[in-house]
Structure 1
Amino acid sequence: MNKGIGKFFTKKILKLITLLVALCIITFALMELSPIDPVTAYVGASTKVSAEQRALIAEHWGLNQPPLIRFWSWFKSIISGDWGTSMIYRRPVLEVIGQKFLSSIWLMGISWILSGIIGFVLGIISGVKEGKLVDKIIRGYCYVIMSTPTFWLGILFIMLFAVKLGWFPVALSVPIGVLSENVGFIERIQHIILPALTLSIISIASICMNTRQKVIEIMSTDYVLFAKARGESQTKIVFNHVLKNVSLPAITLQFLSFSELFGGTIFVEQVFSYPGLGQATVSAGLKGDLPLLMGIAIISLIFVYSGNIIADLLYRVVDPRIREGQDL
């Protein structure tokens, strides 16, 4: 068992290292091919900056070096623990990422829990009531949501709940003109509800549809048919047979949805001007902040990859057959 776990983690770590190196190379190459000039993005549209000053700025940030030398210099420094300094925020990259990630983790965490619970419940109801009116309504909702762009849904929520009804603030994570440390818990909740709701509604559809399909498969198995023949109620069948068999795939899918969750966060934070990691990603890309963008790419990959590892571990713990097969 211990040997199997050790082999499992060794494979995962080696794969993670390979992915990180490939991601760094691809991200750097794409930034080099980008038409964005980091110096111009740094100084803005000002025409008062002379060519000499631009050259000094490029030299300060190492932008006057050939691409391969710049990449190798950055790669060596990040291995030594120095992630560089953000050109936008003028602060260490790890400090910026830590602050932004802390803001985003609340948004992603609330959305992740809401989408998992609601999607799972709706999937079970839809699967158990296959072909009936409630199933058609749930499927219709999922099809509409799956084809709805995240940013469009966010704009719609702002227009309806923030502008027209005035129930929630329009944007940001704290009231305008108030320091973060002076903001109360209720005010933070008011600012996070609309972004979290937008993000969770989008994620509900995929979890619901996958859970529904699994429930339909379970409901057609011999042991469920036998339970029906014995006169067991539908409620007992759901609790005794369906939940046990559908929980593992649903939980696994929930952890595998980390990538979808992070991708959706980028759009949601842009729409709601929420100062999190997603908004920092867009700013770093548009302003050519290579150190920050590379740092965010690394953290994002580790975050998504962690979800995949947790999903694999859950399979190994809950289903011994998978553990035994991988240990051979």
Structure 2
Amino acid sequence: MARFCLTNLAKFALLLLAVSLVTFALVSLSPVDPVQANLGQAAYAGLSDAKRAQLEAYWGTSVPFPERYANWLAAAVQGDLGVSLRYNAPVAQVIATRAANSLALMACAWVASGVLGFAFGITAGICRGRLVDRIVKGYCYLLASTPVFWLGLVLLIVFSVELGWFPLGFSVPVGTASADVTFADALHHLALPAITLSITGVANIALHTREKTIDVLESDYIRFAKARGDSTASIVWHHGLRNLALPALTLQFASISELFGGSVLVEEVFSYPGLGQAAVTAGLGGDAALLAGIAVASAALVFGGNLIANVLYGVVDPRMRKGALQDA
């Protein structure tokens, strides 16, 4: 077990190092000039050469890429992720402020899409070839080909503009002090973005669970249970859930990266102040420190999800736990 933990920690450190390096490299290759993007075209055009050079030196844009990345990495190891150019605040503070909204959004969508996808997949597999199966497959195929930002715009027009059931955007009511925001207000603003993100996440899990359910129902031990007179629902509940849960867990935790990518678009559509919106702002402004911080945080989230999936394998299937202990 100690070897398992150390191996995963080493992989985790190498992953974060690679993600930060690639992020800095891409920002350096980007045609976006951070000074011009943060000052604006008019203000930048009116700057003198001396002032322009002073701002480039202050923001570190004139420093060569290897030196800039080495300085950032040395500070990051000590817990300092740098200062965001766009928000004029420490990167760690910006991430901490925005992470709460993004994590709430992704957690609601993650749970909803996992539960619904698992239930739809089992139902479709049990009712293979029937009307319910065709409805579920059609629903999943349609969602799998639907861009999340387009779906968000449609839901925003229907439920916010036309029906007025949900607010047009933001995470709290406009003009309300943070101390006066209630949990109901935050939940009301969170609902529609979370619904948008969860709807598109159902398809993959549902279709995969359906195929796995069909395979399980055609196995020998299920046929033996049917020969004894057990109902299909009872067989799936008592004998099939463990075999169905393992691949579903794999997809569910692997979908965290897809959820984060989808949350970037959803947060832009609904003007929801989260990490996704901050990442877009940092990208448009050439804010390398903030982009690297968000990339590292998202990579840690994805790696943590995969690690939890490996641990849960042993909880769901004791055979895998015994095999892991023997290998260790």
Smaller-chain TM-score range? Answer: over 0.9
Aligned to 1:41: 37
C-alpha separation in 2, matches of 1:82 and 1:100: 17
Tell me which of 196, 220, 223 is aligned to 1:222: 220
C-alpha separation in 2, matches of 1:320 and 1:19: 29
Aligned to 1:122: 120
Tell me which of 60, 63, 71 is aligned to 1:62: 60
Q: How does 1:137-176 map to 2 (within 5 A)?
A: 137-176=135-174
Tell me which of 2, 5, 8 is aligned to 1:6: 2
Aligned to 2:296: 298
Aligned to 2:283: 285
Aligned to 2:106: 108
Tell me which of 9, 23, 29 is aligned to 2:25: 29
C-alpha separation in 1, matches of 2:265 and 2:166: 19
* Structure 1 residue 325, shift from structure 2 partner: 4.0
* Structure 1 residue 28, shift from structure 2 partner: 1.0
Task: Quickly say closer, same or farther: Cα 1:147–1:100, change in 2 above 3 A.
Answer: same
Aligned to 2:189: 191
C-alpha separation in 2, matches of 1:128 and 1:50: 72
C-alpha separation in 2, matches of 1:222 and 1:148: 38
C-alpha separation in 2, matches of 1:132 and 1:158: 34
C-alpha separation in 1, matches of 2:316 and 2:229: 30
C-alpha separation in 2, matches of 1:298 and 1:254: 21
C-alpha separation in 2, matches of 1:261 and 1:44: 32
Aligned to 1:82: 80
Contact between 1:161 and 1:168, CA under 8 Å: does it hold in 2? yes
Same amino acid, percent of matched pairs: 48
Tell me which of 123, 130, 133 is aligned to 1:132: 130
* Structure 1 residue 240, shift from structure 2 partner: 1.4
Aligned to 1:15: 11
- TM-score scaled by structure 2? 0.95
* Structure 1 residue 170, shift from structure 2 partner: 1.0
Contact between 1:111 and 1:200, CA under 8 Å: does it hold in 2? yes
* Structure 1 residue 131, shift from structure 2 partner: 0.8
* Structure 1 residue 321, shift from structure 2 partner: 3.6
C-alpha separation in 2, matches of 1:124 and 1:180: 43
Contact between 1:252 and 1:314, CA under 8 Å: does it hold in 2? no
* Structure 1 residue 324, shift from structure 2 partner: 4.3
Aligned to 1:249: 247
C-alpha separation in 2, matches of 1:130 and 1:59: 65
Task: Name the SS for the 2:169 alignment partner.
Answer: coil
- The residue identity in structure 1 corresponding to 2:139 is Y
Task: Name the SS for the 1:178 alignment partner.
Answer: coil
* Structure 1 residue 25, shift from structure 2 partner: 1.6
The more displaced of 40-49 and 200-209 is: 40-49
C-alpha separation in 2, matches of 1:164 and 1:295: 39
Summarize deviations over 1:237-270 as a string: whole Å, max 9, x none: 2211222321232223212211111111111101
C-alpha separation in 1, matches of 2:316 and 2:234: 22
C-alpha separation in 2, matches of 1:81 and 1:163: 44
Task: Name the SS for the 1:172 alignment partner.
Answer: coil
C-alpha separation in 1, matches of 2:77 and 2:116: 42
C-alpha separation in 2, matches of 1:232 and 1:325: 32
- TM-score scaled by structure 1? 0.95
C-alpha separation in 1, matches of 2:258 and 2:311: 20
- The residue identity in structure 1 corresponding to 2:35 is V
The more displaced of 237-246 and 287-296 is: 237-246
Summarize deviations over 1:2-33 as a string: whole Å, max 9, x none: xxx11111111111111122112211111111
Contact between 1:31 and 1:290, CA under 8 Å: does it hold in 2? yes
Q: Gaps (5+ residues) in structure 2?
A: none
Summarize deviations over 1:144-173 as a string: whole Å, max 9, x none: 000100100000101111111111111111
- The residue identity in structure 1 corresponding to 2:231 is S
Task: Name the SS for the 2:5 alignment partner.
Answer: helix
> What is the count of residue pairs matched by the alignment?
324
C-alpha separation in 2, matches of 1:238 and 1:135: 17
